[in-house]
Amino acid sequence: MENLITQRDLIVKLNEDEVRTYSEELARVTTLQAEAEDEKKAVSSGFKDKIDRFIADSRTLARKISTRQELRAVDCEWVHDFDNIVSVLHRKDTGEVIDRRKLTEEEMQLQLPKAAGRKR
């Protein structure tokens, strides 16, 4: 009768070469893992920034729609009213009065040549 040979998973002591080989493999795999985690963070951060920009844009658009207005640069013009000694700021697009202030002394001087011409 022949002896039957079989295999089983059993604990085996590693020799120095095997320990060195596994150590090098562990260092390589650990480095690759750290690089993959760093790459994941960079990509996730990029997506987070992109999503945050979309959220901000959505809120801005929703505010404009709900209030039916937005802040824009609008051309305005100061018009001197020498009779009332004021300068009035008008919107050029609607003509609406935006501001009113007293004329400065320098601005009052602008009227002197015109007034002198009328008296002659």
Residue type, 72: R
Instruction: Check residue 28 and give its pLDDT.
Output: 95
Q: Where are the alpha helices (DSSP H) in 1-120?
A: 16-67, 105-109, 111-119
What is the mean pLDDT of each successive set of 10 residues along the chain, which is 120 residues long?
A: 78 93 94 94 86 93 92 92 93 94 89 61
Query: What angle is formed at CA 91 by the lines to CA 87 and CA 97, rounded to 5 degrees?
Result: 50
Instruction: Check residue 118 and give its pLDDT.
Output: 60
Tokens read off for 47: 């997506």
Tokens read off for 33: 């893992």
CA distances for 85 relative to 5, 28, 49, 91, angstroms: 116, 83, 54, 20
- Is residue 75 within 8 Å of 96, Cβ to Cβ? no
Tokens read off for 10: 């059993």
Q: Look at the pTM and tell me if it is higher than 0.85.
A: no
Q: How far apart are CA 84 and CA 74, in angstroms?
A: 26
- Is residue 88 within 8 Å of 79, Cβ to Cβ? yes
Instruction: Check residue 119 and give its pLDDT.
Output: 56
Instruction: Check residue 20 and give its pLDDT.
Output: 94
